[in-house]
A and B are shown apart, each in its own frame.
Chain A
Amino acid sequence: MSGLSELKLGFIPLTDCAPLAAAQALGFFEEEGLAVELVREVSWATIRDKVAVGALDGAHMLAPMVLAAGGEVLAPLALNRNGSAITVSSALAGAVADGGAAALAELVAARRASGRGLLTFAVVFPHSMHNFFLRDWLARGGVDPDRDVRIVVIPPPRMVERMRAGEVDGFCVGAPWNAVAEAEGVGRMLITASQFWPGGPDKVLGVTASFAERRPDDLLACLRAVIRGAAWADDPANRDELIALLAREDRVGAPPAAVARALESEIIFHRGAAGLPRREHGLWFLAQMLRWGQLDPAIDSQVLVDQVYRPDLYRDAALSLGLVEALALADPASPLPA
């Protein structure tokens, strides 16, 4: 035995696994006294189940998925802000042009009038920022996400091939898969998450409440290592090294040029206390879950958010690293979608 505490963390092949991948590659976990096994998982359902039974101590998770676990899983750290985008097939992009969702609404009406079938959009999971981003964007343009289009679930690494096969007309997924679709000439990005909601929330590090209770020191060490990983990943000086790391087949497994795109201007890992899991983000997610019928209206959102979102744990770790900006109460980015 190395004297290090063992920890098993899961991730999905997406750019926003960067803080975990960097902490591992640069030895931050070991420096914090942890021997971490980073496990690449292929589905969010498997991540959810493995975290629930303790087969994973923690994981890269969709924030609404953590809330849907009803308090059994905590969010002590946000892995990133922004990073997803809505991409439509090249054919649909030609028809919609720069008109956005409003142009899409006209197209939907025209298709209905001529008796053609519904357009199909894909998201990565029902409880996801991607689902809520897509639905809100559609609804604002006058498209009813439940009636006017069909929304299906497809795992992130499969999005591009499904669009190429003509099975989906559009999707909302995290980086780098939108850039991959563009690079391969399959689709075109219409709107990015940072245009929808600058600095808006995305993935979190989820850990079980029982792990946080049983192993508080290991959790603190883990948060310190991941915060250091996020700071490293956010630093432009490390960009090339990060791209090479993420492009690896055992991480994201995508072309370096596609990985690079969202890192240039879209995704934020660390600056401006990006890692702080903000309760207003949790409340926005719960409001969306309620809006789209995923949440029992009897559930007290305030209580659930306070149970799940743990900015106190993030602040303890950040302050122990001397990062005083974690004390900032106001969010420098806009608190709600534009």
Chain B
Amino acid sequence: MRVLVIDPDTARAALVAQGLEGVQPLEVRRSAVYDEAEVLAFAPDVVVIAAESPDRDTLDSLKESGQGRPVVMFVDRSEPGLAEQAVRAGVAAYVVDGLAPNRVRSILDVAMSRFALTQQLRGDLAKAKADLESRKTVERAKGLLMKERGLDEDGAYRLLRKLAMDRGKPIGAVAADLLAFAGVLKGDAS
């Protein structure tokens, strides 16, 4: 497991390393500030950062760009609710200051699996959206064929499927091409 601790304070990095004792292979690195080149080279499985670090904004922005990594945040126990809010905002998990080292490992494990789950859900959502778009396109192409070629619904679908197989393209792509060409023939594309 590769862990990057972004914190000017060495004590927390030591706590993380102590809590992960026995994990093999293990590399815990500490850096006072977020350094992009270093992060890319090290490719940590999880990043641990203090809530009061200015680099939080940088990490926060990465989650939208798809280059995000699971982030675990150290928070001060004197600010109730802050940790939960940070989680809502995209931090994968948090460690309350003064935590016993023996819980560090489970927290990092939770963070990594939570992050993987979020990434998967995001991927699933994107795929579901694309599938829906493709189905709508196929429906419209079917409608066009039924109208222009006098086919019934089943016949229109079989024709689309045959076109797709002949061209080795997905049926959604063939349907989109068909609709685009129909548009050109009607003169609505310039």
Q: A: which residues have CB within 8 A of B?
A: 42-46, 48-50, 52-55, 124-126, 152-155, 157-158, 167
Cβ of B56: which chain A residues have Cβ within 8 Å of it? 42-43, 45-46
Contacts of B37 in A (CB 8 A): 167
Question: Min CB distance, A170 to chain B, in Å?
Answer: 16
Smallest Cβ distance from A298 to chain B, in angstroms? 14
The answer to whether residues A153 and B81 also contact, given A42-B52, A48-B89 and a CB cut-off of 8 A, is no
Contact among A42, A49, A125, A126 for B82, CB-based, below 8 A:
A49
> 5 shortest A-B CB distances, which residue pairs?
A155-B54, A53-B81, A153-B61, A42-B54, A43-B56
Let me know if A53 and B84 touch, CB within 8 A.
Answer: yes
Q: What would be 12 A-B contacts, judged by CB atoms less than 8 Å apart?
A: A42-B52, A42-B53, A45-B60, A46-B51, A46-B52, A53-B80, A53-B84, A55-B82, A124-B57, A152-B58, A155-B54, A157-B54
Looking at the complex, which one of A42, A55, A125 makes contact with B81 (CB distance below 8 Å)? A55
Residues of A within 8 Å of B64, CB to CB, are: 126
CB pair A158–B79 under 8 Å, yes or no, is: no
Which of chain B's residues 43-99 have a Cβ closer than 8 Å to chain A? 51-58, 60-62, 64, 79-82, 84-86, 89
CB distance from B49 to the nearest CB of A (A): 10
Contact B57 A49 (CB under 8 A): no
Which residues of B are found within 8 Å of A46, using beta-carbon distances? Answer: 51-52, 56
Q: How far is the CA of A54 from the CA of B33 in the complex (A)?
A: 28
**Complex Cα gap A243–B45 (Å):** 45
Residues of B contacting A: mostly: helix
Chain B residues near A125 (CB-CB < 8 A) = 57, 61
Choose among B60, B61, B64 the residue with the greatest number of A CB atoms under 10 Å from its CB.
B61
- The smallest beta-carbon distance between A254 and chain B, in angstroms, is 15
Docked Cα-Cα span, A50 to B75, in Å, equals 12
B2-14: contact bitstring with A at CB < 8 Å (1 yes, 0 no)?
Answer: 0000000000000
Closest to A154 in B: B58
- Partner of A126 from B55, B61, B86 at Cβ < 8 Å: B61
Q: Given A46-B51, A50-B82, does the pair A153, B58 have CB atoms closer than 8 Å?
A: yes
**Complex: A52 Cα to B86 Cα, angstroms:** 10
Residues in A whose Cβ lies below 8 Å from that of B79: 50, 53, 55
Contact of B53 among A43, A55, A126 (CB under 8 A): A43
Residue of A53, A54, A167 contacting most chain B CB atoms (<10 Å): A53
- Does B36 count as interface, using CB distance less than 8 angstroms? yes
Are B60 and A153 neighbours in the complex by a CB distance under 8 Å?
Answer: yes
> How far, in Å, is A87 (CB) from chain B's closest CB?
18
Asked whether, in the complex, the Cβ of A158 is within 8 Å of the Cβ of B85, the reply is no
Q: Across the interface, do A49 and B86 meet the contact criterion of CB distance under 8 Å?
A: yes
Determine if B55 and A155 form an interchain contact, defined as CB atoms under 8 angstroms apart. Answer: yes
- Using CB atoms, name the residue of chain A closest to B59: A45
Contact, CB under 8 Å: A54 / B58: no
| Interchain CB contact under 8 A, B54 and A52 | no
Docked complex Cα distance between A33 and B37 (Å): 50
A153 to B53: give the CA distance in the assembly, Å: 14
| Contact (Cβ within 8 A) A44 B85 | no
Q: Can you add 9 more A-B contacts, CB < 8 Å, to A42-B56, A167-B36?
A: A43-B57, A44-B57, A45-B86, A49-B85, A49-B89, A55-B79, A152-B36, A153-B57, A167-B37
Q: Contacts A50-B79, A126-B61, A158-B33 given: A43-B55 contact, CB under 8 Å?
A: yes
Find chain A residues with CB under 8 A from B54 CB. 42-43, 155, 157-158
**B78's closest neighbor in chain A, by CB?**
A55
- Distance between A18 CB and nearest chain B CB, rounded to angstroms: 21
A153 to B59, CA, bound (A): 8
A216 to chain B, nearest CB (A): 23
Contact A155 B58 (CB under 8 A): yes
Query: Is B57 touching A45 in the complex (CB atoms < 8 A)?
Result: yes
Given the complex of chains A and B, what is the CA–CA distance between A48 and B64 in angstroms?
A: 17
Q: How far is the CA of A158 from the CA of B55 in the complex (A)?
A: 9
A155 to B54, CA, bound (A): 6
**Distance in Å: Cβ of B76 to nearest Cβ of chain A:** 10
Residue of A nearest to B90 (CB): A45
Nearest Cβ on chain A to B166's Cβ, whole angstroms: 35
Query: How distant is the Cα of A54 from the Cα of B81 in the complex, in angstroms?
Result: 8
**A155: chain B residues within 8 A (beta carbon):** 54-55, 57-58
Most buried by A among B57, B58, B82: B57
**A124 CA to B60 CA, complexed, in Å:** 11
Closest chain-B Cβ to A293's Cβ sits at a distance in Å of 9
